[in-house]
Structure 1
Amino acid sequence: MTNQKKERVIKFPLSDWIAGINKFPDHLPTCAYCICYQCDWNEANYGPYGFTSASSKKLLNFLFHELHFYNQNSLSLQPVLTPGNSGLYFYGESVEAFNRRIVEYKKEKLKRKLQSGLPQLPGLSIEASEIINLYNNDKVSTALLTHLVKNNYSFFFSCFLTPMAGQTVILFENAIWEKAKSFCQQSGIQVFEADSVNELTSW
C-alpha cells in the first residue's frame, strides 16, 4: 500500500506552553509527548495540519481501537470514530476498565446521598471520586493522571494548537509511537521527530 499525497506524522515534546494551555499539572510524567499530522508542505515546511486525510484517519484507527471520549459532565464514555473534541480519550481494554470506575463512583455517590444526615458507614472511600474527576483547582487532576499512567491505561489527550501543529494528540506510552512509525513505513507516510514544537512552521 502506498500513499500518493505527501503526508507526514510529526512527534515533538510536550512543552511548558502546551502543558499550560491544556491545564496540565506542573509535574508531568517524563514519558509524555505529542504527535500531529501535516499534508502537502512546501520547501519551507509550510502546509496544513490536521488528521483530515484518509491516510491519517487510517493511522488513528490502527493505533486506537474502540475509541471513547470521556465526557465528565455526564460521567460517561462516548464511542467515537476519531478524536474531535479536546479532552481525554480511552481506547482498547481500558474503556471497560475506566467505565467500571465510573460505575463505582456513581454507586458511591448514591450511597452518600442516601446516608445524608445519618451516621457515616465504613467502607466509603473517596478514591473513586478522586480518579473520576478530570480537573482539580482548574487543572488536570494529578491524582487522575498518575493513576492512569501507573496502571497502564490506554489513553491520550486531544487538543488544538495554533498557529502550528493543529489537532494534536498527547500520549504517555512510547509503544504507540513505535506502532505509528511501523504503520507509516508500510503506508508511504513520512515521519518527522522534532526537538521542539517551535521547529514546526506556522500555518
Structure 2
Amino acid sequence: MELTIEFPVEQDDIFTQPSHLPQGFCICYQHNVDDAGYGPYGFHTAKSEILLKRALGPLTYWNSERGQLVDADIPKADGIYFFREQGYVTTMNSELMIYQKSQAIQALRDRYKKTSPSTPSSAKPILLEVAQGRRMSGAAISKILENNCSFLISYSRITEMGQILIFFDTTLRANIRKTAEEEGIKYITEKSIDDLKPW
C-alpha cells in the first residue's frame, strides 16, 4: 500500500522568523506499508511521481548553488519550487539577472583596480535571501507570499518522513487529495508530524 500523508507545518524546524508566516500544510509519502502501518518514506515509486506530475504540473526550481532558476518536472532536491507562468517569478528572475550583472561588472573593476562610476548599487534580490543553510528565511518567504506567488518547499528529514513538501496555498490541498485518490493512493491526515510512525 502507498500513502500520501498530510500534517501541519512545524515552522520552527524549517524557517527563521516563523511568526511572519501563515499556517500551511505538509505532505509526505509512504510506500510498501504493512498491515501495522510501517513502511519507508519518500516519493520514490512510479505512482508517487505520477501524483506529483499530475497534481503540481511543471515547476521552476531555485537552484541556490548555481544561482539560477531552472525547470523541473517534479521536486527532488531541497529548496523552493515555483509554479510556472507567474508574473512575480519573472520579476524575481529579472531582478536576479540585473544584480548578478552588476556584481560581475564590479568584480572586474575591483580586479583591474578601476574606479566605480557613481551609480546606485542594485538591491540584493529576494531569491538570494531565501535559503539560510538548512533553514529558509521566514521574512523572504513572507515577501514572496505578499506578492501572491504560489510555490512549494521541499525539505528532507534525515531520520524519518523522507522528503516533505510544504505548501502555503491551501487551494492545492483538494487537487492533491483528488489526484491521489484517482491514482489509487490513500490520502490520510494527521494532527502532528509526531503522529507518523517512525522508520
- Which category describes the TM-score, using the shorter chain as reference length? 0.7 to 0.9
> What is the distance in 2 between the residues matched to 1:132 and 1:145?
11
The equivalent position to 2:3 in structure 1, one of 8, 20, 28, is 8
CA contact (8 A) 2:61 2:79 kept: yes
- Is residue 77 of structure 1 aligned with residue 75 of structure 2? no
CA contact (8 A) 1:33 1:171 kept: yes
The equivalent position to 2:54 in structure 1, one of 62, 85, 91, is 62
Question: What residue ranges of structure 1 are gaps of 5+ in the alignment?
Answer: 1-5
> What is the number of residues matched between the two proteins?
193
> What is the distance in 1 between the residues matched to 2:189 and 2:135?
28
Give the structure 2 partner of residue 167 of structure 1: 163
Deviation at 1:24, TM superposition (A): 3.6
More deviation, 150-159/130-139: 130-139
Question: What residue ranges of structure 2 are gaps of 5+ in the alignment?
Answer: none
> What is the distance in 2 between the residues matched to 1:112 and 1:129?
16
1:136–1:120 distance in 2 versus 1, CA, 3 Å: farther
Deviation at 1:177, TM superposition (A): 1.2
> What is the distance in 1 between the residues matched to 2:29 and 2:134?
29
> What is the distance in 2 between the residues matched to 1:41 and 1:53?
13
> For residue 98 of structure 1, what is the amino acid of its counterpart?
M
> What is the distance in 1 between the residues matched to 2:59 and 2:116?
41
Instruction: Give TM-score scaled by structure 1 length.
Output: 0.80
The equivalent position to 2:186 in structure 1, one of 179, 186, 190, is 190
CA contact (8 A) 2:92 2:125 kept: no
Deviation at 1:199, TM superposition (A): 0.8
1:44-55 counterparts in 2 under 5 A?
A: 44-55=36-47
- Partner deviation per Cα, 1:179-201 (whole Å, 9 max, x = no partner): 10111232222111110011110
> What is the distance in 1 between the residues matched to 2:83 and 2:105?
30
> For residue 12 of structure 1, what is the amino acid of its counterpart?
F
> What is the distance in 2 between the residues matched to 1:108 and 1:156?
30
> What is the distance in 2 between the residues matched to 1:188 and 1:113?
55
- Is residue 39 of structure 1 aligned with residue 31 of structure 2? yes
The equivalent position to 1:98 in structure 2, one of 92, 103, 117, is 92
Deviation at 1:145, TM superposition (A): 0.7
Deviation at 1:110, TM superposition (A): 4.7
CA RMSD of aligned residues (A): 2.7
Is the partner of 1:27 in helix, strand or coil? helix
Instruction: Give TM-score scaled by structure 2 length.
Output: 0.81
> For residue 119 of structure 2, what is the amino acid of its counterpart?
L
